[in-house]
Structure 1
Amino acid sequence: MKMYDLQSKLNTFYKNYVVLPKSGRDSLFTKKNLNINRLKDGLIEYNEEKGTDYKFAEEPIVQGSVAMSTVIQNDSNDYDIDVAIVFEKDNLPPGTTATKNVVVNALKKKTNQFKVEPEAKTNCVRIVYAEGYHIDFAIYRRYKDGKKYIYEHCGSEWRERDPRSLTQWFLEQNKEKDYKLREVVRLLKMFSKSRDGWKNMPGGLIQSVLANEQFQTYERIDERFYYTIKAIKDRLAYNKEVYNPTDSTKSLKLVSKDSTKMDNLYNRLKDKLSKLDILFTSSCTYNQAIEAWGEFFNHDYWAEQREDNKSSVSKSFATSEMDERYDYKETEEFIYNKFPINIQYQLELKCEVLQKNKSTVWLHSLLNQKKLLLPGCYLKFMASTNVPSPYNVYWKVKNRGDVAKREDCIRGQIEQTDELSHFEPTLFKGDHYVECYIVKEGICVAKQRIGVPIKVS
């Protein structure tokens, strides 16, 4: 029996009540940057006071659900922002406790306004905000083995671990699944946090691993989600062990209560999936389908979709952000997820415009003259750098604006060309941009962005 089709309603629910809006994502990154700067400034004061020279070896690395972009609205401000900070091995004290204390004491110099002081935990240093969310600084040290950096994480002891590996794994799996894995993970997390009394559920990483392992390929979002979580439930019935996808020798169940969390996920999926059985009956009505999904997600949105509650639907749409109106794949990639960043050299970007009348002009001259860059032109981007060869060159083209989203063409993938020039047509309106990166010995040592504001006459 085919499943009752409510893909449009689930898709609207997903976009308006599950996906964290751009304002929320921007707020998380603002808090992240603010506290990184606090730590940098605190380390300067600490070094001046102690006569030390502690400093980052590379730009901090966003980790966890923020890096994977699986944060959801239903987190009730209990956002866990994970940031990896990396030091050179020979620039740190040998002990993990002493290392964490350096970071704690540096942060204390710039966080006097916090009610709760920064605290050293087993695997991180934590800053807690009064609003409920917290920032975890995971500390790493690195050293070179030939031309490759080896990273070690500061926990109860130093353990070898790559700070980018899990994020890279998720992003690669999401790309392989046509950018649909993230969607399933977000919906599963929404379910896991759908009841106030539901404590002790597995964290986002375990849910992501299970969703990837059991991912079911269906065109419709409701079928894709249903059959994936059903497969997860069936799998958990006989096997509740989950291993690190980047190191299959390590379990993600670290403490005894993690087994309880896996039991809870299984039992709650089993119970609430049974409420969706009606979707597979030939007599299922629209209102019955709405009620079934409403029981599953426990969210007011579903009651508003009943045929007798149509007047309240408009209120739901009024709260959605404009940038979530369109269905488009989240294809953008970020250089910090691919390489360590340590900017040491210069990179200059210029753009030459071949206009419709076949004349050429520099983009900056065109914009300085208040003239429009219109669709139908051709652009030649040229990079120059003082990075000594050999090196690799990567380019990123990001389309922004309503047209890019409507056409499902935001792009943003990072591609290696090893060429210092790149060509692009101007297709549609939007404040787009192009970035170039120079990578030498596995490190991004130079980067630059140039804005490409395409208008309509």
Structure 2
Amino acid sequence: MRTMIVEKDEDYDIDDGVYFKKEDLVGPKGGDKTSLAAREMVCDALQDDRFNIPPEVLKNCVRVYYNEGYHIDVPVYRHVVVKDAWTGKESDHYELASSNWKRSDALAVTAWFQDFNKDNCANASKDGDKGQFVEVVRLLKAFARSRPSWKGKISNGFVISKLVADHWAGVADHDDKTLRNVAKAIRDKLSWNQAVKHPVLDENIIEDGNAKATFLHDKLDEKLKHLDVLDEWDCDREKAMNAWDKFFNTDWFSQQPDPDGAKSLTQKVGPAVKRGETRYA
């Protein structure tokens, strides 16, 4: 979905699922292989003496740690074909090897993400992998990973992506305004309810009371205050860039050259988050 964020310490993650036919996952006694056994099988296949940290089985995937500092999460899926006993019509779906086999379809989620981007962004690419929605998801994911002390406490990228879609308020050609609008809407929503619906399944990704969603709310509420200066009549470029630096915990924005040259140093302007010019977008 083109929304991966590379963190300063290079501890970024990549998802790369593996799919099997259900009939190919057979247990030792001829029955269906359990979800745990399927993950263990994949984990065994990924072992390599060159890894400093061996691959390990987690609840929803197998994690492979690379010596360079990043890791790859490998979820395991099985393709299930079901024939209707009355009509003989076949239907199919995918199941994730979690604590049990759980209905899930990463490909359908990707299609949902790309379709939302294409349907809601005038600048979306034909494949749906580029566009303002993608940009804003990346920016909010970058915000969620902007402080090391937040790691493991804040909502993951999937939850953030769905929250952005649920509260989309795009402003054409202004990623900065869109980001701020969406961030405020997400904060307001999470202040009273933290449940987030799955985009393609009839279930929730997280339930009301989720601690990581509450943490996301608290940090948005806290850091959005840095952007209040953008509404002041005398907000100039320097103030705006410093405000975005504080929001993202970086100095990147204030280090950027003035696109209009010296003449704009005294000009009162709004902030700019331009496509393709930051490591966040």
Q: Please, what TM-score do these two structures have when normalized by structure 1?
A: 0.49
Residues 142 and 149, structure 1, Cα contact 8 Å, conserved in 2: yes
Aligned-residue RMSD, C-alpha: 2.6
Q: In the alignment, what sits opposite 2:3?
A: 70
Q: Give 1:199-348 correspondences, 5 Å limit.
A: 199=151, 200-219=153-172, 220-247=174-201, 249-253=202-206, 259-305=210-256
- The AA in structure 2 aligned to 1:282 is W
Verify: 1:81 aligned to 2:14, yes or no.
yes
- Aligned residue among 27, 30, 44 for 1:105: 44
- Distance in 1 of aligned mates of 2:150 and 2:194: 19
- Shift of the alpha carbon at 1:91? 1.4
Verify: 1:92 aligned to 2:45, yes or no.
no
SS in 2 for 1:141: strand
- Shift of the alpha carbon at 1:173? 0.7
Deviations 1:104-127 (A, max 9, x none): 22223xx12112222222221221
Which consecutive unaligned segments of at least 5 residues does structure 1 have?
1-67, 312-323, 331-457
- The AA in structure 2 aligned to 1:290 is M
SS in 2 for 1:252: strand
Change (3 A) 1:286 1:118: closer
- Shift of the alpha carbon at 1:253? 2.4
- Distance in 2 of aligned mates of 1:181 and 1:100: 33
- Distance in 1 of aligned mates of 2:208 and 2:166: 22
- Shift of the alpha carbon at 1:73? 3.1
- The AA in structure 2 aligned to 1:175 is K
Q: Give 1:128-167 correspondences, 5 Å limit.
A: 128-145=65-82, 146-167=89-110
Change (3 A) 1:154 1:222: same
Residues 120 and 126, structure 1, Cα contact 8 Å, conserved in 2: yes
- Distance in 1 of aligned mates of 2:276 and 2:35: 47
Q: Give 1:22-101 correspondences, 5 Å limit.
A: 68-74=1-7, 76-93=9-26, 94-101=33-40
- Distance in 2 of aligned mates of 1:227 and 1:253: 23
Which consecutive unaligned segments of at least 5 residues does structure 2 have?
27-32, 83-88, 122-130, 263-274
- Distance in 2 of aligned mates of 1:85 and 1:167: 15
- Distance in 2 of aligned mates of 1:278 and 1:255: 33
Q: In the alignment, what sits opposite 2:30?
A: none
Q: Please, what TM-score do these two structures have when normalized by structure 2?
A: 0.77
Change (3 A) 1:73 1:214: same
- Shift of the alpha carbon at 1:255? 11
- Shift of the alpha carbon at 1:74? 2.9
- Distance in 2 of aligned mates of 1:85 and 1:255: 31
Q: In the alignment, what sits opposite 2:127?
A: none
Q: In the alignment, what sits opposite 1:192?
A: 144
- Distance in 1 of aligned mates of 2:142 and 2:13: 15
- Distance in 2 of aligned mates of 1:292 and 1:301: 11
Residues 194 and 207, structure 2, Cα contact 8 Å, conserved in 1: no
- The AA in structure 2 aligned to 1:171 is Q
Residues 75 and 193, structure 1, Cα contact 8 Å, conserved in 2: no
- Distance in 1 of aligned mates of 2:141 and 2:242: 20
SS in 2 for 1:282: coil
Residues 243 and 250, structure 1, Cα contact 8 Å, conserved in 2: yes
Residues 287 and 306, structure 1, Cα contact 8 Å, conserved in 2: no
Report percent identity of matched pairs: 34
- Distance in 1 of aligned mates of 2:53 and 2:159: 29
Q: Give 1:298-447 correspondences, 5 Å limit.
A: 298-305=249-256
Change (3 A) 1:101 1:287: closer
- The AA in structure 2 aligned to 1:97 is L
Deviations 1:347-390 (A, max 9, x none): xxxxxxxxxxxxxxxxxxxxxxxxxxxxxxxxxxxxxxxxxxxx
Structure (1 or 2) with the greater strand fraction: 1
Residues 206 and 252, structure 1, Cα contact 8 Å, conserved in 2: yes
How many residue pairs align between the two structures?
241
